Structure 1
Amino acid sequence: MISADAIRGYVDLMILSLLRHGSSYAYELAQRISSISGDDYSIKQTTLYSAVKRLESSGLVSSTPGLSPSGKARTYYLMTDDGLAHLNAKVAEWRETKAVVDRFIDSDTGDAPS
């Protein structure tokens, strides 16, 4: 299982990635995160709620009241246009970061490639 510390900076990226496919409520987001991660990572509800509230206060996500399929009141979260732009920038940053870290992990000598 991946530790919360190792993935902390990427929770917003995971949430925005899910919301680019449509609106969702917090419990559903948590279930989808566990499912997609293959149960290698399970997000705590407090972490999830803090993240969606932070994303909402930053204007990257909006919320609207709604009902679940069973009729229970839910708050649905939807990514804004600013959220999509932010997601695209963060995905590009992630790919660049991963490429740099992979160079260190995959290096046999610790020297820069020639």
Structure 2
Amino acid sequence: MSITSDIIRGHTETIILSHLEEKDSYGYEINKSIQQKTDNQYELKEATLYSAFRRLEQGNLITSYWGDQSTGARRRYYAITPLGRAALEQNKLDWENVKQLIDKLINGGE
């Protein structure tokens, strides 16, 4: 079964922030991590991923820097900022609240 993008679409930035809370990373590595964590049921499109990076960076939730690889192409790494950590914590709280509401709505108010 594949997870539809509609279910996850509004949470892309939170997913990225959550990954960056663990360690600085680059786009391909984040996408591979998402695939592994979801047993290949979900993958971000490259355009979606990099659009989210731009929004997060413009909002000062992440910063970016060039890696110093000695071989291969240079990678742009992303790091979460203190403001990004605060946003992530709020997004997690919001998610828990919404999850409870949806459970009530689709399970007959139980």
The answer to whether TM tops 0.5 is yes
1:59 maps to which residue? 60
Q: Percent identity?
A: 36
- What are the equivalent positions in structure 2 for 1:26-45 lying under 5 Å apart? 26-45=27-46
**Whole-Å Cα distance in 1 between the matches of residues 9 and 68 of structure 2?**
30
Structure 1 residues without counterparts, runs of 5 or longer? none
Change (3 A) 1:69 1:8: farther
Q: Which amino acid aligns with 1:29?
A: I
Structure 2 residue 90 is the aligned partner of structure 1 residue 99: no
**Whole-Å Cα distance in 2 between the matches of residues 87 and 50 of structure 1?**
18
Q: What root-mean-square deviation, in Å, do the aligned CA atoms of Structure 1 and Structure 2 show?
A: 1.5
Q: Which amino acid aligns with 1:103?
A: K
- 1:37 to partner: Cα distance: 1.4
Structure 2 residue 85 is the aligned partner of structure 1 residue 89: no
Change (3 A) 1:7 1:69: farther
- 1:98 to partner: Cα distance: 0.2
- 1:90 to partner: Cα distance: 0.4
SS of equivalent to 2:43: coil
1:39-85 superposed Cα distances (whole Å, 9 cap, x missing partner): 11111011000001110010000000113485530100000000000
2:74 maps to which residue? 73
**Whole-Å Cα distance in 2 between the matches of residues 5 and 106 of structure 1?**
20
Q: Which has the larger radius of gyration?
A: 1
So what's the TM-score if we normalise by structure 2?
0.91
So what's the TM-score if we normalise by structure 1?
0.88
Instruction: Choose between structure 1 and 2: higher strand proportion.
Output: 1
SS of equivalent to 2:76: strand
**Whole-Å Cα distance in 1 between the matches of residues 97 and 49 of structure 2?**
26
